[in-house]
Amino acid sequence: MSSASLLDSMAAQMEASRKADLRRYRRLLWADDPADEKGAKELRLIVKRLEKSDAELVEDGKLIKRARDYAERAMKMPADYEAREREAQAAVKEYDAQTAELIQSRRAEYFRRYNVVCDLHDQKRRADDARRDLQKLQRSHPDLLGMVGDDGAESGVEAR
């Protein structure tokens, strides 16, 4: 066997051994209780072979714990989630439609009331305009209209 193929073979064996150590390291960290004596001893040996520091071991443990928490949360998803979500979305759509209908009816009532106010303002404006026009006529024809009141009747004489 040539030295190059021997080196390649050794490198492949080392890589296979490292992958096996990483798999076992991962399993030990994922185990519910890796602190039993046998597991703890094996973990220390693997950590040493993988040349990991204590800080890296702690960080890996935190990462595994976070991943476990995410997996547990994902598993807690109710089986009928999609159906419940569709129902909730339908309820929101229905509520939105009811709200739009309410707004539309309220808007119609608002404009009806607003038009009443506008009509009343218009009546007042026309009455004010008529008073001013009457005063102008009285000033321009005092002999004929000097005694006519705002109601159009001659002063002192009741309108018939």
pLDDT of res. 128: 96
Predicted confidence band of residue 148 (pLDDT cuts 50, 70, 90): low
For residue 155, the SS3 value is coil
pLDDT tops 50 at residue 160: no
pLDDT of res. 105: 87
Q: What is the pLDDT of residues 3-39, one digit of tens each?
A: 778 888 888 888 898 899 888 888 888 886 656 777 7
pLDDT of res. 156: 42
Q: What is the pLDDT of residues 75-118, one digit of tens each?
A: 888 889 899 999 999 999 999 999 999 999 888 899 999 999 99
Q: What is the pLDDT of residues 132-143, one digit of tens each?
A: 999 999 999 988
Q: List CB contacts of 28: < 8 A, sequence separation 6 or more.
A: 34, 39, 42, 43, 46
Are 139 and 131 in contact by the 8 Å Cβ rule? The answer is: no
Predicted confidence band of residue 2 (pLDDT cuts 50, 70, 90): confident
The model's pTM: 0.44
For residue 154, the SS3 value is strand
Residue of 119, 138, 116 lying closest to 127 (CA atoms): 119
Are 6 and 24 in contact by the 8 Å Cβ rule? The answer is: no
Q: What is the pLDDT of residues 27-70, one digit of tens each?
A: 888 886 656 777 788 888 888 888 898 899 889 889 989 998 99
Residue 60's CB: how many other CB atoms inside 10 A? 16
Which residues make beta-bridge pairs with 109?
none
CB-count exposure of residue 25 (10 Å: 0-12, 13-18, 19+): buried
